[in-house]
Every structure is written in structure tokens, then in C-alpha cells.
Chain A
Amino acid sequence: MTLALNIFTVLAVSAGTFFFLAGTAGLLRFPDALTRLHALTKADNLGLGLIVLGLLPLVERSFGALKLISIWLLVQLSGAIVAQLIADFVRRREPLS
């Protein structure tokens, strides 16, 4: 049981870190601000989400688990809204397309 949970943690955390790498790669390689923003939100949502998911079996107290989940929800939420704000900002700045 513990082994299965540990494998789950390793897999989920590794997948999460992968999304951070992907987010950075996107931020560096994508051609314009809006596509970069798209890459950024992947790290916010999936990267942190998978890491939190992977850590849950290791947290002893349920309050701690609750805090971890609320951090993820907070980042998810603010990340999505901030992405919209920045997109709006970029669009107003560069009124091309």
C-alpha cells in the first residue's frame, strides 16, 4: 500500500515538474505574448496541481491537506484571472491582429 502510494507520489510529482519545464520552454520559445501566456497557465494549473496531488498521500494531518488543496485552488484561480488581465493588457497595447 505504502509502495503504491509512493509510486503515485513519484509519478505525479515528476509529471508536475515536467509541466513546469514545459511552461518555461513555452515562455522562452513561443513567438508572441499571447501564446507565451498560454504556456504559463499550463504550469499554474497542471504543474502545481499534479505536484499537490502527489504530495497529498504524504501529508499527515487533514488540515495540512486542506491547505495544500486550497493553495492549488488559489493559484489556479488567480492564475486564470491574471492571465486574462495580462492578455487584455497586451491586446490594448499591441492592437494588431
Chain B
Amino acid sequence: MTLTFIFNVVLVALLLTVATWIIVARAAFSAAVAFVAYGLLLALVWVELSAIDVALTEAAIGSGVTGMLLLGAASRLRETEATAVPAGRPLTSAVAVLCALIAAGLAAIVLFPPSIVFTLAPQAMARLPESGLGNPVAGVLFVYRAFDTLLEKVVLVLALVSVWSLAPDRFWGGVPGLHVYQQPNSVLTLLAQLLAPLGIVMGIYMFWTGANNPGGAFQGGTVLAAMWVLVMIAGLQNVPSTDRRALRYLVVLGPSIFLTIGLAGFLLANGFLAYPPGYAKPLIIVAEAALTLSIGVTLGLLTAGPPERVAR
């Protein structure tokens, strides 16, 4: 017990140090590098909070794809840094005091919790067997809060549409501006050739094991996205034009299948996103499989950014 506690103290100290440094560091690019380490530490924190599903998501997103986006942006905007005018000292101090107050208020909520423990765990577990799933988080995501999950996937598609819309008119439907490594047949090619198959297996495993163990469509899809981006960076596959029909179908495949299953609930069960008795698990697996693929493609394209070259 005490050893675990020491582990947690070290972890929290590290997390706060890195977070503080990210905020106060001079160069944005260095801060983005530190953010990768921050994501790694955060995944460890989620393991210690017994939220393995969240730990997997954080490991995949926080240090991986978000890190890549931030590193890319910080690098491109490097020369603008010197011109940024920092806020004056009085203002900074005032903001610091206010932020400390907000943090203290939140800390008070943590330290003096209400005497009743709010939990939905018994309700979530009560009817989980009917869904055929063994992972309670997957149960919440695909049964009780299926509507939220559907909307979340729609948000991803909308984010992609918005990112694409930010391209200049002449590049609409063109090729995303993902940098390709300068030397073909380098060690990076080797890494992509070896890592990508492993990652694809991991992505499918995440989706498959997600029904009964921690994991799921999102964690699986993120790994697939990272591997796809890696293969494109290494030059093993061309960055596709965003006007490719197949690509666009793949982006909407998952949400549309999920929506279709949801609408079928009106006919076959007792409402939107309700599953007919006995068919819950197969339907959820079908939806998750399609979503894994769509999430992989969508996140990969979000990471690749808006089109910056005309379509080939």
C-alpha cells in the first residue's frame, strides 16, 4: 500500500513539474516535446486510477497524435514567437491569483465530498449481461450512452470537414500537407515496415478485446491512424487526395452504419439506438468494426491536416 502510494506521489510530482514547464517554457516547440512526456505520464495516472480504458485512450491520443499535431504547428510557427507580446506583470499576477482560487475551489470539492457517494456503477452493471458485453465502459458507451457516442463520431467527421474547409480554394480536394521524410529507403522506411504490421494487429486486437476487456473502437482506430500516418511519412504510401471517393466513404462508413443500426431500433426494438433482444452484441460488434475503420481514417486525415497541394 505504502509503496503504491510512493509510486503515486512520484507520478503526481512528475506530472505537475512537466505541466508547469509546458506553461512557462520559452519555446513552443520544446513545450510540445514536453507535452509528449506529459501524455505518457497521464496514461500512468489513469492506470493508477483503475481506468484502463481511459489509459489506453490517453496513451494513444495524448502522446501520439496530439503530440504530432502540436509539434508540427510549433515548428511551423517558430519564427512568429519572438513577436508575441507577453502580458504585463500586474495582469499576470491577477490572473495567477484567480486561477489559484479556481484550483483551490475545485480542490475543496475533492477534499470535502458530499456524504452521499454518487455512483451509477450498480445500474451500469445490472443490465450489462443483456448486452452480451463484458466491459462495463463499452456497455456505457454503446448501450446507455449510445446517442452520445454517435454524436461524438459525428463531431469527428465535422472536425475533418472544418479542417478541410480551411484549405485555400485552389487546393480544395487536394493533397494534405503532411511532410514526407526526405530520404527514401532510410531507417524510417524500415521502422514503418516493421511497426505498421504490429500496430495494425494491435488496432484490431484493441477493437476485438474491447467487448470484454479494456479497449474498444476508439483505441483501436487511433492506433490504425498512427500507423497509417507513419506509413505515409515514410513514403511507403502516397498521401491521398482528399477528393478520393473511397476515402470519403470510409470516413462516413462507421457513423452511417451506427446510425442505421440506431434507426433500425425503431422497427426491431423499442426505440432509437435500442437493440433487439439477443442481437445486441453482434450489432455492437458490427458498429464497432465499422467505427474502428472510420476513426482510423478520420484521425489519420485530421493529423495530415488541410489540403496544401492540388490533387494529382
Contact = CB atoms under 8 A, between A and B. Distances in A.
Interface stretch (B57-65, B187-195, B211-219): B187-195
B190 A81 contact: yes
Interface in B149-196: 186-188, 190-191, 194-195
B198 interface: yes
B191 A82 contact: yes
Interface in A39-97: 70, 74, 77-78, 81-82, 84-85, 88
Interface residues of B, number: 8
Interface string B16-49: 0000000000000000000000000000000000
Contacts of A70: 198
Instruction: Determine chain B's interface SS by DSSP, over half rule.
Output: helix
Contact of A85 (B188, B194, B195, B198): B188
Contacts of B190: 81
User: Which of B187, B194, B198 has the largest number of chain A CB atoms within 10 A?
Assistant: B187
B187 A81 contact: yes
A82 B186 CA distance: 12
Contacts of A82: 191
B229 to A, nearest CB: 15
A74 B198 CA distance: 8
Nearest to B194: A77
Contacts of B191: 77-78, 81-82, 85
A5 B195 CA distance: 33
A54 to B, nearest CB: 17
A82 B194 CA distance: 13
A84 B187 contact: yes
Contacts of A77: 191, 194-195
A53 B48 CA distance: 24
A82 B188 CA distance: 8
B187 A78 contact: no
User: Which of A70, A81, A82, A84 has the largest number of chain B CB atoms within 10 A?
Assistant: A81
A74 B191 CA distance: 10
B208 to A, nearest CB: 14
Contacts of B188: 81, 85
Nearest to A80: B187
Interface in B207-252: none
A52 B187 CA distance: 26
Contacts of B195: 74, 77-78
A62 to B, nearest CB: 16
Contacts of A85: 187-188, 191
A81 B194 CA distance: 10
A88 B195 CA distance: 19
B226 to A, nearest CB: 12
Interface of A: 70, 74, 77-78, 81-82, 84-85, 88
Given A77-B191, A85-B191, 8 more contacts: A74-B195, A78-B191, A78-B195, A81-B188, A81-B191, A85-B188, A88-B186, A88-B187
Nearest 8 Cβ contacts at the A-B interface:
A81-B191, A84-B187, A81-B187, A77-B194, A85-B187, A78-B195, A81-B190, A74-B198
8 contacts: A74-B195, A74-B198, A77-B191, A78-B191, A78-B195, A81-B187, A81-B188, A88-B187
